[in-house]
Structure formats: C-alpha cells, structure tokens
Structure 1
Amino acid sequence: MGPRPSREAYRLPSAGWEDLTYPPIAPTIDKAKSSYLIRRTSILIVNATSNLPARRIPDLFLGVFLEEINHGVSGGLWAELVSNRGFEAGNATSNIHPWSIIGDNSSIYVSTDLTSCFERNKVALQMQVLCGDTKPCPSSGVGISNPGFWGMNIEKEKKYEIIFHAKALAISNLEISFTGAGDVKLASTSVTVGKTTNWTQFVNTLEAKETYHNASLQITTTTKGVYWLDQVSAMPVETHKGHGFRNELFQMVAELKPKFLRFPGGTFVEGIKLSNAVKWKDTVGPWEERPGHLNDIWKYWTDDGFGYFEGLQLAEDLDALPIWVFNAGISLKEQVNSSDLSPYVQDALDGIEFARGSSSSKWGSVRAAMGHPKPFDLRYVAIGNEDCERKNYPGMPAFVSEYAVRKKDAGMGSLLAAVAEAAFLIGLEKNSDIVEMVCYAPLFLNINDKRWIPDAIVFDSYQHYGTPSYWVQKFFTESSGAVFLPTTLKTDSPNSLIASAINLKGSKDNNNYIRIKVVNFGITPQNLKISINGLISSVKQLGSTKTVLTSSNLMDENSFLEPMKVVPRQSSLENAAAEMNVILPPYSVTSVDLLT
C-alpha cells in the first residue's frame, strides 16, 4: 500500500465538510484554515451490466477461526466458571491450582489421591477437617475456594447450576457458595453428604442476591471429618440455547454471519509434544469423563469441556459449516513416521463418523447419546494445521485460514491494522475466483492472558468489546455468495486507494443493493466520483446508506473504557445516485450501500 507515514504523522486532520454526514470524529476545522488538506479526486466506474457473465463470490467466503488460545474458550466462550474442575491440571496429583485452601494447617489438611469414580480422571481431592470437635471451626467454615478464570461473574437474580461429586466418612454438611469481597455470600446452599464409600452426585441451582464480577466458589464445612470431592462445575443457567456458550460472546461471533467455523486450532491441535496434542475422543462423552489435557503451546490446562461435539454444535448454532482440524501425526517438535500413520488415519475416520454417521453407527451412537441423534453437517476437514498438499493436488483454490496485522502497527487492535486488513480483504474479494475462504485469527482474547495480540474480540469475566479488526469484518458479512461487479479505479493515488463492488440481497429486507467498499490508506481526504454503468433500475435515495470506519488517530483502539471509540458509523445517503461523489476520510474504510 505504499510507504507508511512516520508516527509523528499519525494524528489525522479532523472532519469539516458538509458531505461528511456521519458523526464528526473531532472538532470541526475552520475550512479557511484547512487549505493544507489536499482533496484529490478519483473516479470509480462500476459495471453493473446484466448481460455480463456473473461471477459469484464463493458461498463460504467469510468465516471464523476458533482456537483455544488466550483462554478464549476455557474461561471465555465456554461458560464454565470453575478452573480445573477435576483437580487434574498438569497430570500431577498434587496440582490443584488455582484452588486455594480456606483455613490454617491446624484446621484443615488438603491432598489429592487416585480414588475418583471416573476411570479417565482418577484424581480426587481429599479434605481432612481437623476442627469441629474439641476445637471449633471458624464460623465461616474451612474448605476450598476456586477463583475461576480471574474471577467469576455473578449477577443479581441470575441462576447458576452447581454440580459436584462427593463422599465422606461420616454424615455431615457442606456449604456451597459464591462469595464476593470480604467473603460476602452472593448465593449459597447446604447439602448433606452421607457416610458412604460410594460417590454421590449433587446438583444445585443457586440464585444470586447481589452482583460481583470477581467472585469465587467456596465449598466449606464446620464439621470434623474426611471428605472427598471431584468434578466440581458451576455454569450460568442462561447460556446460548442451553448449549454452554456465553451469550454475549456467542452473539458477537454470530453478528459476523460466518459461513464456516474452523476449529479447534491452530497449533493447539498439534501441541509442542504429540502427547499434548488434541485427541478428539478424549473430548466427547460426559464432561466428568473427559481427562482434559495440557495446552502446552499456550501454557495452560484445559478441561476440554468444550470438545469436538461442542465445536460441531457451535457451528450449527451459528448456521455455519464446521471445518474440523485434526492432528495428522505432527507436533511442533515431533513427527510420526509414515509407516505409523494408520492409527491417525483411523482416528480421523472415526471422527468423521462421529459427526456424520447414523445414530446406529459406533461413533454416531456416541453423538446421539450426547443429545444430537441427527448427524452434523460436516463437509470439510483440515488435515493438520496449515499443512499443504499442493504437490499432490495442484490448482486447489486457496483458503486464507489466518490473517491479521500484528506487532507494533497493531497494538491491542488499532485503526491502522483494521484499515490495512480491509484493503487485504478487498483484494481477496477481487480475487475470489481463486480465494474461496478467509478468516481472521485469533478470534478471542481474555484480557488476563495476552498470549497473542491483537484479536477480534476482547473480554474479561463480565465485559467485552470488538477491536477495529472485528468491526472491519462486518463490512464483508454480506460478501459470501454475492455477485462480484467489475470495477475500474482511476486515481493518482494507486498506493492508497482500493475498491470493490458487489450486488447483494439485503439480509434484513431482501432488497437488492450495490455495495461499494473503498479503503483510503492515505493521509489526505479523497473525493471519489462513483459512476455505475448498466443499471436496470434507478438508485433509490431512501434506503441507501454510507458507513465509515475511521478515527482521529491511526493508533486509536477500543477498550473497556471506550468500547465504541473506533466503530463503523452509518448515515443516510441523500445524494445517492448512479453518478455521485463521496468524500473518503484519511485512513478509513467506507461502504456505500445503494438500494436499487
């Protein structure tokens, strides 16, 4: 896109023209004092002639890529509140992190053993409560506490389902509670654990009395005895369709209207060691039976509550086609010999049967038992992460399975990065006869685990926002399956302007629109004269709009304090016509939607 200006030039001129109809991004400049702003004129000719052969953009052009990175799934999209719910983290029987002990050494002793009733998760937690007989326990009890993923978001009048398994040497009571600052109980209940060597499952629904965004889950008692606990889960009752997806994060993804979902990775699929690669069979079936594994590439444990089944369910809920990425016998540091690949091949075939097979098939029956007797619409798989078979299959269409501007130009997600990505996407749109699919990555970032930045959606326990890179994708949500219109751009700024045009049916009103997208990557405003040839019907002013993404500084970002600082601004287009002028602000993405 040509040389980039120095950072001293990053402060952009403010808007101050009558035809900039979106909300001004800075105080208006006195036009008499703005003569230094050179308004260049470029011409965009759009050929909408109906007798030309139509070139449709592929139906699956824009999708999303979900990877377990940045705690984007565990502690993010997947609404489980408890971190390390089975005390299995790191495959070390003494590793209960991030659980902590409530009480001193004279009151309670906590350890782990291998007495769990779950065959693939043998670790259980043992609490020896030493107080409560001759030495009274503290009135608030002793026990264990889990902070979740940097705090649990507990909201007033919301309900939460608590499931755990327990046994004890004597009949006694346990109190289960969400606690806030100063150990204030936000919600609590008491359960009686019988004297038994058999494990019992306890299911309780708690309704919060207050809101606290950094709560913890506590299991406490004031009764002396020996207790065992395992597989402790806490989930909001309200998740998307009851499928376990955090509502507001799901909605952010849904609003991108993705046509496909690539999952679950990424190098997450491979691992640094093959022993830590994703093994899909360990991620299906009852959640208590899933052993979890060390996400060694991104340095944290995952319980695999979001597994293969949940990925397929997420794609279905998004009305997107799943693209399942499976391990091909390769990790970052290890590789299986070709002669030893047969188990990997069979594992992939079994995975396909799990998704597509009838409910009477071996693996299809496992899916059916999980509540989905109907096969999932799995049509595509990816053999390994970002591997290629061009030598054996030349001429394949391209799948741009990961793109983003990174490092110093991107920060945590800057306007500069977003405008550059928009130009890139327009280029892919113009070459969509070769490029069939594209997705941004990474999709999610928990602000407490910045392994990879920038990302499309940033969140913590209770708030979220889209980066400018997220909002840029919304300019392309209608591109999949649209008709590409040939364009000719006449400009003396070829290194800073790029444009494309499509013919589409509006998803909200089913009306016909011509959408013209233009990126101005220059430091000065541009006057763009648009000329549309071959229109059968005239352009309607009522219903035509202009949408602009820009800001007052190239490095502007969104944040929890200013989540809407850099977002598209839509306005009516009073001069909408087949021949019209549009002002393109510096460093901006502009979409002109003409109702025809």
Structure 2
Amino acid sequence: MELLLSSALQDILDSLEFARGSAESTWGSVRAAMGHPEPFPVKYVAIGNEDCGKENYRGNYLKFYNAIREAYPDIQMISNCDGSSGPLDHPADLYDFHVYTGSRALFSMKNTFDNTSRSGPKAFVSEYAVTGNDAGRGSLLASLAEAAFLTGLEKNSDVVHMASYAPLFINDNDRTWNPDAIVFNSWQQYGTPSYWMQKLFRESSGATIHPISLSSSCSGSLAASAITWHDDDNSFLRVKIVNFGPDAVSLTISATGLQSSINALGSTATVLTSGSVMDENSFANPNKVVPVTIELRNASEEMEVTLPPHSLSAFDLALAQSRLVAEM
C-alpha cells in the first residue's frame, strides 16, 4: 500500500511539473516538445473527489498536501471535507462543497453559508444542481431553486470563493446525466433555463455586495440579493429576486444609502419565467424559457414591482454620476 501511495504521489508531482515546470525541467520539456513551451497557470489542486468519509482519506490527504505544498507553495489546495458548519481537522486553503438535490431542498439551502466561520478555509461550491424529477432535462423549476441558492452564495462571497454548476455540457446523443447547462449535437445547441439563469449572475464576480432584507407575507418563497456592478460606460444597482411560489408578489424596492441617484434612463428589468415550472428548452424550441428584458421607466430609489409566479427577476437600476458625500 505504501509503495502504491508513493507512486501515486510521484505521479501527481510529475503531472504538476508537466503543467507548471519550465521548458528545461524533466516533464516541462515533454510539454514543450508537444508544442506548449509556456507553463500552464495551475492555481488549485483538489485532493480527492467526494472522499472525505472514506477510511484512509485524512491520513493520505496530509501526505499529498505536504508533498505538493513543499514543491509548489503557491498552489491552493482543496479538501473534500465540508467546512461550512464546523472547522476542518486538517490544513486546507479551500474545501469542496457538492450538492445535488430536489428543487425545494436546494431552495431551502439559500442560507447555508450565513453562519459559516469567517476565518479558515473558503468554500469552493464546485458542483451544484437540482436533480431528479424536478429537473427533467433542464426545467424552469430547477433553475429557480438554483438561483435562490446562488443568491446565498453571492451574499456570502466573503466565505464562498468560487462556484460552478455541474455538468456544463451534454451531447444529446450520449446523455449520461440530467440536467446540464448546455445541450449540443453535431450541428446545433441550446442553453437550458439553468444556463440562462446563470447569465444573470455573471456580473457578480468583482461586484460590491449590499445588504438586503425582505418584508412580505410571501417572504418564505422569496430569495434576493443586491450588488453594484459596472460595464464600460455605466454603473448599476442590480436587485435579483426569486419568486419560488405559485402566486404573483407585489413589493416595494427601497434603496437607501446610495452615493449615486437612480436614473430611469438606462434602467431595465429582466425576467426569467414561463407558463409551467416544468417547461424546458429543446432543439425544436431553444428559446421557450429565456430571459426577457424591458425598460424600467419607474426606476427610482423607491418603486413598486410585481414578481410573476415562479420567476427570477433582475432589476438593473442605472446609477447617475456620484453625488458629493461631503461638502468641500
């Protein structure tokens, strides 16, 4: 067993040298001979995959951790053990968090990281998706539960370092997993509702997170987050709200403490919804469930909005030029 482990350790170190070593190193020279003299920027190594509960994981983990840390001290190492509800008993830079479950269960997990310790390793939510009957081949219902879960990750981005939906692609001629974000065959492709939902979170990286609270008799079926983000020309306050319930919900959005006023010109509302929670996209109808964007003519610091049943709404409120915070 020790001989096998030693061989596996050396394989890992050789693989990292192949990826990161100079073109003059033993394995880096092999990479260079294959046509890629520049090293690959490998920044993270996950030690195992869903192995935390296995008998020898922790002992073997430390051997890999120590060997990699000695050879590549800048590489961030990821443990398979969940640190969201308590401290790990071994060193790690990040810990892996996987969740595949039904839509109601995932919606209820939107507050998973609210009470996670703010010190210690950060979370890498490397696999998440609604699965089972709720998912179909990529349903609106699945995307809404996933969106609610993502609002929780967004609000806790100080402890959630990265997140990725899984799986990303599926060949329609070889379906081994449902659902997937992007479906393709030899000549066409489409995005599932989960793909379109994630596009509404793409500005979250590098954005400023703002506190948000919900006061509604329907708050149990709502999830929300707020960020400010910037494109090349403008700044926006984006408020995302998931209505997981079967009824429309009327709300007042009240934004306070902004250093810039809200401008109706350039403000928009984008809504992802459909006639049935189990609606899916397909090659025949690739745009059955896609976001629809309209101008938001009533955009202001306080405004009335209506959330359609079973929907994700993103309100992008254009911010005017910053006001002076103090008199000069």
In 1, distance between residues paired with 2:10 and 2:162? Answer: 28
The alignment status of 1:528 with 2:244, answered yes or no, reads no
Name the structure 2 match of 1:574.
Answer: 297
Name the structure 1 match of 2:182.
Answer: 457
Structure 1 residue 510 displacement after superposition: 4.4
Q: 1:545/1:338 Cα in 2 relative to 1: closer, same or farther (>3 Å)?
A: farther
Name the structure 2 match of 1:347.
Answer: 11
In 1, distance between residues paired with 2:251 and 2:169? Answer: 36
The alignment status of 1:469 with 2:167, answered yes or no, reads no
In 1, distance between residues paired with 2:259 and 2:123? Answer: 34
Name the structure 1 match of 2:263.
Answer: 540
Quick check: which one's helix share is greater? 2
For residue 363 of structure 1, give the secondary structure of its aligned residue in structure 2.
Answer: helix
Name the structure 2 match of 1:371.
Answer: 35
In 2, distance between residues paired with 1:356 and 1:522? Answer: 49
Structure 1 residue 595 displacement after superposition: 1.4
For residue 404 of structure 1, give the secondary structure of its aligned residue in structure 2.
Answer: strand
Letter in 2 for 1:595: A
In 1, distance between residues paired with 2:303 and 2:33? Answer: 59
**Deviation digits for residues 337-391 of structure 1, max 9, x if unmatched?**
3553111111111111122111111111222222222222111111122342532
Quick check: which one's strand share is greater? 1
Name the structure 1 match of 2:102.
Answer: none
Structure 1 residue 537 displacement after superposition: 1.8
Structure 1 residue 429 displacement after superposition: 1.2
**Deviation digits for residues 425-454 of structure 1, max 9, x if unmatched?**
111112222221111111111112121111
**Deviation digits for residues 474-527 of structure 1, max 9, x if unmatched?**
111111121110112111112201110011122xx2422111110001111111
The alignment status of 1:403 with 2:120, answered yes or no, reads no
Letter in 2 for 1:532: A
The alignment status of 1:393 with 2:116, answered yes or no, reads no
Structure 2 alignment gaps of length 5 or more: 52-79, 82-87, 93-119, 320-328
Letter in 1 for 2:47: I
Structure 1 residue 403 displacement after superposition: 0.7
Letter in 2 for 1:572: E
For residue 341 of structure 1, give the secondary structure of its aligned residue in structure 2.
Answer: helix
1:104-123 map, 5 Å: none
The alignment status of 1:422 with 2:120, answered yes or no, reads no
The alignment status of 1:553 with 2:276, answered yes or no, reads yes
For residue 399 of structure 1, give the secondary structure of its aligned residue in structure 2.
Answer: strand
For residue 42 of structure 2, give the secondary structure of its aligned residue in structure 1.
Answer: coil
**Deviation digits for residues 81-130 of structure 1, max 9, x if unmatched?**
xxxxxxxxxxxxxxxxxxxxxxxxxxxxxxxxxxxxxxxxxxxxxxxxxx
In 2, distance between residues paired with 1:349 and 1:357? Answer: 10
In 2, distance between residues paired with 1:487 and 1:518? Answer: 11
The alignment status of 1:487 with 2:216, answered yes or no, reads no
In 2, distance between residues paired with 1:415 and 1:341? Answer: 45
Q: CA RMSD in A?
A: 1.5
- Residue identity (%): 59
Equivalent of residue 171 in structure 2, options 446, 463, 470: 446
In 2, distance between residues paired with 1:338 and 1:473? Answer: 44
Indicate conservation of the 8 Å contact 2:218/2:249, yes or no.
Answer: no
Letter in 2 for 1:517: K
In 2, distance between residues paired with 1:370 and 1:540? Answer: 55
Letter in 2 for 1:447: D
Q: Which structure exhibits the higher relative contact order, with contacts defined as CA atoms closer than 8 Å and separated by 6 or more residues?
A: 1
Structure 1 alignment gaps of length 5 or more: 1-336
- Comparing 530-539 and 411-420, the one that deviates more: 530-539
Letter in 1 for 2:229: L
Q: Which has the larger radius of gyration?
A: 1
1:230-245 map, 5 Å: none
For residue 31 of structure 2, give the secondary structure of its aligned residue in structure 1.
Answer: helix
Name the structure 2 match of 1:361.
Answer: 25
TM-score with structure 2 length normalisation? Answer: 0.76
The alignment status of 1:565 with 2:229, answered yes or no, reads no
In 2, distance between residues paired with 1:360 and 1:377? Answer: 17
Query: What count of residue pairs does the alignment treat as equivalent?
Result: 258
**Deviation digits for residues 271-295 of structure 1, max 9, x if unmatched?**
xxxxxxxxxxxxxxxxxxxxxxxxx
The alignment status of 1:501 with 2:165, answered yes or no, reads no
